[in-house]
Amino acid sequence: MRAIPALFILFLLNSCAVKIEPAATPSEKSPPPQITLPGWKSKSFADTTPPYAEKFAPHYLSVKDGEIATYGIRKDGTEIFSVISERNDSEYPGIHPLRFCFLPTSLLAGNSPYLKDTNKLTHEDGNYWEFCAFDLRTTIFQLFPSERKSAKGLLVYHTSIMLLSKVEQQFVHKMQKLGWNVMVGLPPDSLYRGRIPTMISKLGTIENGASLLANDMDLHHAEQAHSTRAALAYLRKTRPSWLAGKKALIGTSAGSFGVPAEVKLNPDWDSIVLVSAGTNLLSTYESGAAGVFPNTLEWVKDVRKDPPENVTHILTDEEFHTVYRRAAELTKLHPGKTGSILRNYRLLTIHGRLDKIIPKEQTRELHQILGNPEQWTYPLGHHLIAVQLVFDAKRIDHWLMESVN
């Protein structure tokens, strides 16, 4: 029990040790980069077979970028809904993709609606609707109303790969108490459902395998953009008062990489905050620091023992490194190429000086691409920055409410 007060004191000291660098004096407004998002198809359940039990079926509402599935507002005013669209995966000559699913297993991770082969939307009484994950794209949103009668505005918060972790829940609750209506977007399920390129003919090349991975990552970033637009459309239909006042956007860790694409499609923001952000998610994976790439290699080792009949070659570990490095070069929607679209916004970056997951080179490069905005640096690692957000909720709220000079 003595560790808890000690940890609290440690974070108080770290809060005092924050290094705040003001934004560089802006030059002339820069023209936005040319960003082209891939085509998108919504999905309708009008002609599908009812789920397990008709009485547990959610309500459906079609919007431009997808279909909303929801059980409606809960007794405490919160709501969980899913934005669903077609998966539309691309195929590449000679490449046979093997599908795998990884989910966060940390004790700090939030509850996952994403399962191995299905996704699940749960009613507050415990009943649920479950549907096939590999035919559809799914992004889960959660709504948390302001605890003040007069809300300051809407805060859209994209979580890390840990989903809405226990720590991030505390940050959201603090922002509610400070007067924000908060819409939390979990990472689209495409973050957890990978396709591993294997060869089935001579047309299967490293370049084709890299193209598959790059296209999948671009679709993942595009999904964050389209699902947010669908979610905002849903708010306009069901909670129009939430769109009054200020509009702030926060992306944390994995949830930050799709922010430039999201802003391209949804430009109406007063302030944007990027937490523990980098320039390229595939490069971050390939470095091994996030744990995703090593886990993928372990899974592939098992597949090599009993490969599918039509597969002629499963990439070696070194070939996988080569494919990921090349895929990182081929992606079009990563912040390294698209981040400058954020230059003309009021922008804040928050990161830990001891971060071992996002490479320091990515942090420095992103800051320059963004036009050297205001930056808060803490003597902390990647995971503890999420804890720091809880302690700094008031400071962040103050920054969001400041008038633009």
At 177-204, the pLDDT tens digits run 999 999 999 999 999 988 888 888 888 9
Residue 259 has pLDDT above 90, yes or no: yes
pLDDT of residue 404: 54
Mean pLDDT across the chain: 89
- Tell how strand 374-378 and strand 347-352 pair up: parallel
Judged against a pLDDT cut of 80, whether residue 290 lies above it is answered with: no
Q: What is the per-residue pLDDT across 65-119, written as a single tens digit (0 to 9) for each?
A: 889 999 999 999 999 999 998 887 889 999 988 888 888 878 889 999 998 888 9
pLDDT of residue 138: 93
**pLDDT tens-digit profile of 213-255?**
999 999 999 999 999 999 999 999 999 999 999 999 999 999 9
β-sheet bridge partners, residue 375: 21, 349
Q: Which residues contact 248 (CB under 8 A, 6 or more apart)?
A: 153, 154, 155, 156, 180, 269, 270, 271, 272, 273, 400
Q: Contact 98/45 with Cβ under 8 angstroms?
A: no
Q: Looking at residue 291, what is its pLDDT?
A: 74
Q: How confident is the model at residue 405 (pLDDT cuts 50, 70, 90)?
A: very low
Reading the block at residue 276, the tokens are 């523990």
Q: How many CB atoms lie within 10 A of CB 316?
A: 12
For residues 368-396, average pLDDT:
96
> Is the pTM for the entire model greater than 0.95?
no
Handedness of CA 379, 381, 387, 392 (dihedral sign): positive
Spatial distance between the Cα atoms of 294 and 292, rounded to a whole number of angstroms: 6
Q: How far apart are the first and last CA of the chain?
A: 46
What is the structure's pLDDT at 31?
A: 77
Contacts of 266 (CB under 8 A, 6+ apart): 225, 228, 229, 232
Q: Are 71 and 59 in contact (CB under 8 A)?
A: yes
> Which position has the token pair 């499609």?
265
- Please report the pLDDT score of residue 28 as a whole number: 64
Three-class SS state of 301: helix
pLDDT > 80? residue 346: yes
Residue with tokens 């930056």: 375
Q: Where are the beta strands (DSSP E) in 102-222?
A: 118-122, 128-132, 136-144, 153-158, 180-185, 193-199
Strands (E), 71-200: 79-86, 95-101, 118-122, 128-132, 136-144, 153-158, 180-185, 193-199
Inter-residue long-range contacts of 69-73, CB under 8 Å, 24+ positions, other chains counted: 69/45, 69/121, 69/129, 70/121, 71/121, 71/123, 71/124
Task: In whole angstroms, give the CA distance from residue 349 to residue 343.
Answer: 12
Residue 52 has pLDDT above 80, yes or no: no
What average pLDDT score do residues 258-279 get? 97
What pLDDT does 311 receive? 86
Alpha carbon distances (Å) from 184 to 108, 163, 274: 17, 10, 15
**To which CATH superfamily is domain 51-401 assigned?**
Alpha/Beta hydrolase fold, catalytic domain (3.40.50.1820)
- pLDDT tens sequence across 351-363: 999 999 998 999 9
Whether residue 214 contacts residue 330, with contact meaning beta carbons closer than 8 Å, is answered with: yes
Domain ranges of the chain: 51-401
Instruction: Give the whole-angstrom CA distance, residue 347 versus residue 371.
Output: 10
**SS3 for 9-63, per residue?**
HHHHHHHHCCEEECCCCCCCCCCCCCCCCCCCCECCCCCCCCCCCHHHCCEEEEE
Helix or strand run (H / E) with residue 247 = strand 246-252
Query: What pLDDT shows up at residue 15?
Result: 54
Q: Is the pLDDT of residue 55 over 60?
A: no
